[in-house]
Chain A
Amino acid sequence: MKNLKRFMVLSLLLVLCLSFTAFAQVVTIDFLNFSSSGDNEVHLEKMREIFEAQNPNIKVNIQTIGYGDYFVRLMTSVVAGTAPDAFELNFENFAAYAMKGTIMPLEELMEKTGFDTSVSDPNALAAFRSDGKQYGLPFSFSNVIVLYNKDLFDQANVPYPNSDWTWADQLDAAIKIRALGEDIFGIFQPIQFHEFYKVVRQNGGRLFNADMTKFTVNTPENVETLQYMVDRVQKYNVMPTEEQLSGMGDWDLFAAGRLGMLVTGSWAFPYMMENCDFDWDIAVEPGNTAKATHFFANGLVINKDTDKAEAAFEWIKFLSTSKEAAEIRVQAGWELPAVTHQEILDLYAATTPPESKSVIFESLQYLVTPPVIEQFGELSDILGRHLGDARDGFVTPQEALDAAQAELESRITL
């Protein structure tokens, strides 16, 4: 009797101890993201389930909020010292967070866990380096290509675009398509910062000098580039003016079959698949004196003050590089995973339209990344305003870029 009692007490203690240690081992990490907001939360949830099954000691608390005020929330939590253990950053904000030392360099963690860099897309991985250190892992990326309406090309009797074509070929095709009808336009390519920094590279220009100490916005190559972009609107009118566009989205214009070519990102595919009732495909962007393409990437980073860095790293590594996460992503049509797993790439290439999915990978060869500076948002707003003035014909391209150069020099210290 006494023994039984003792046994019960002991076993109770044992159970308590065991459950206590089991509890202690489970780490819960907070993860904040914006890119699953809207339709993709279920897919992220699926990724979490698989991850937690593989890592019974880690629980992930996912917080998803809309893109609009994501950075306000993130900033406030950083100031208050309550930032999540791991979070998502878009490329534009990544630079500021890395340079200000808000996020953790990942080298040590990568070494410790034997991170295999070869499974990551090298371009996407390189995008999240700053000052020679790896600060983030790519979550997803989308690159920018030319979507074209095959039917309109056929009607205008122009050959489809290929990888060797140039600005001149593109303009020629656009003019012929424009001639098909009053309401049909040749091309649409937004005249704003995100396009401009790349298009100048297609003409051998740059927005900064080589060591990023000075703005070189109004160089002759850049003025020529802007002239070319503006001419498509004002002179040839192969691209609709703001008035002709009158608030209609460029995607809608393309989906309505009224646009020959559209320079946009691969994130447009699901929309086009659903809404286009004509044949369309994609091509690498043309160049003038050089070829240049760009992409948008979102990265995963770790809060430098977290005490759960290892668990957080396991999670972002899983999201960034695992086959499971990549497969869910591809099947959901949720942008592109930044991985090199052949079967994933095959799976991606196999989902059509567009037929020429390989173009996505081909255009990565000519990738240029946006300038990594802290004042990225301000740069893009100021330049965008002056580019808009030129596009709408208020000033000449030369005047617009001179004014932009002056304003940038006075507002942004490099």
Chain B
Amino acid sequence: MGKKLTIFLFLLPSLVGLVLFSIIPIGTSLYLSLTEWDVIGGPPKFHGLKNYVQILQSEEMGRILGNTLYFIVLYIPLILTVSILVALLLNNPYKGIGIYRTIYYVPVLTSWVAAALLWKWLLNARYGAVNAILGWFGIQGPSWLQDKAWAMPGVVLSSIWKDMGYFSLIFLAGLQGIDKTYYEAAEIDGASSFAKFRYITLPLVTPTLFFVMVICIINSFQLFPQVMVMTEGGPGGATQVFVERIYNYAFRYYKMGYAASLSWILFAFIFVATIIQLRMQKRWVHYDS
């Protein structure tokens, strides 16, 4: 009895918020996805699954999905590697570590609007810093955001810069949370640093890695502010992605029902991706006990 009440009280604030600000709005958007609604003109008109059919048949769907996968394939391996490396680096006891930690965190502190504007300028083909630096190594940089093939890598680059500090902070917290006695025991056994990383650090950081992966996949599917500011979906639709389309349909094209359907399709993709990860988790994520 007492336990149940405790559980209930612990969950109460979240549950109230969940119902009011998540379940109700999400339910509404599910209904809206079955309607045609121009938002400003009057109430939504029910028209069944038409939006879904139209979306799935559209040429646009393939383009959005392709662009999103392109982003994921580039972004996920890069961000995971880089942020674990940085976290390991920051987990050292050397002098000045605090300064490095702060430096790495600076990009996270900028707002996406400012960061995206900045990167738009940095990726400028002729006068931008990125191509200038590539030039030092004799590399002729591409036109980045003006080039259909290079626009998405440009977006990825900006995202790595912006997110690296954030995820390495999370990894660092994970690393620091590891019980020191494990290492002490390993040292007594004479384990090498690599062995310690491979058999202690890596397994114990897997809950964090799992978390970061789930979040990264969701964020990648919901990629938005950088695209909106840097390319507006261009050039020639090469960076059109789910949320960018949803925003446009909802607020520029007066097709809220269509936008809602598109977000449920987006949901389906994320859901499947997450379920797969949750299933796989048993194979490689180590929780204590």
Direct contact of A and B (CB under 8 A): yes
Q: Which residues of A contact B (CB under 8 A)?
A: 71-72, 75, 78-79, 96-97, 99-102, 242-243, 245-248, 374-375, 377-378, 381, 385, 388-389, 392, 394, 407
- Contacting residues, chain A, for B39 (C-beta < 8 A): 75, 78-79
Judged by a CB distance under 8 angstroms, whether B146 is at the interface is yes
Contact yes or no, B254 A389, CB < 8 A: no
Select which of A72, A79, A375, A407 is within 8 A of B253 by beta carbon. A375
CA distance A246 to B143 in the complex (A): 7
CA distance A176 to B227 in the complex (A): 39
Closest 4 CB pairs of A and B: A100-B41, A246-B125, A377-B252, A247-B124
Judged by a CB distance under 8 angstroms, whether B17 is at the interface is no
Q: How large is the interface on B (under 10, 10 to 19, 20 to 34, 35 or more residues)?
A: 20 to 34
Judged by a CB distance under 8 angstroms, whether B216 is at the interface is no
Judged by a CB distance under 8 angstroms, whether B188 is at the interface is no
CA distance A120 to B42 in the complex (A): 32
Contact yes or no, A100 B42, CB < 8 A: yes
Dominant secondary structure of chain A at its interface with chain B: helix
Q: A102-B40, A381-B248, A389-B236 are in contact. Are A248 and B127 (CB under 8 A)?
A: yes
The residue in A78, A247, A378 that gathers the most chain B C-beta atoms within 10 A of its C-beta is A247
CA distance A102 to B40 in the complex (A): 6
CA distance A242 to B234 in the complex (A): 12
Chain B 183-195 per-residue mask, 1 if CB under 8 angstroms from chain A, else 0: 0000000000000
CA distance A71 to B253 in the complex (A): 11
Given pairs A247-B123, A378-B255, 9 additional interface contacts (CB within 8 A): A78-B39, A96-B38, A242-B235, A243-B143, A246-B125, A246-B146, A247-B127, A377-B248, A394-B236
Contact yes or no, B236 A243, CB < 8 A: no
CA distance A377 to B248 in the complex (A): 8
Select which of B127, B234, B252 is within 8 A of A71 by beta carbon. B252
Q: Which B-chain residue is minimally distant from A378 (CB atoms)?
A: B253
Sampled A-B contacts (16; CB under 8 Å): A79-B39, A100-B38, A100-B40, A101-B42, A243-B143, A245-B146, A246-B125, A246-B143, A248-B127, A378-B248, A378-B255, A385-B237, A389-B236, A392-B235, A394-B236, A407-B59
Q: Which residues of B contact A (CB under 8 A)?
A: 38-42, 59, 120-121, 123-128, 143, 145-148, 233-237, 248, 251-255
- Contacting residues, chain B, for A72 (C-beta < 8 A): 251
Contact yes or no, B40 A392, CB < 8 A: no
Contact yes or no, A102 B41, CB < 8 A: yes
- Contacting residues, chain A, for B126 (C-beta < 8 A): 246-248
Contact yes or no, A392 B251, CB < 8 A: no
CA distance A385 to B124 in the complex (A): 21
- Contacting residues, chain B, for A102 (C-beta < 8 A): 40-41
Contact yes or no, B236 A247, CB < 8 A: no
Select which of A97, A246, A248, A394 is within 8 A of B40 by beta carbon. A97
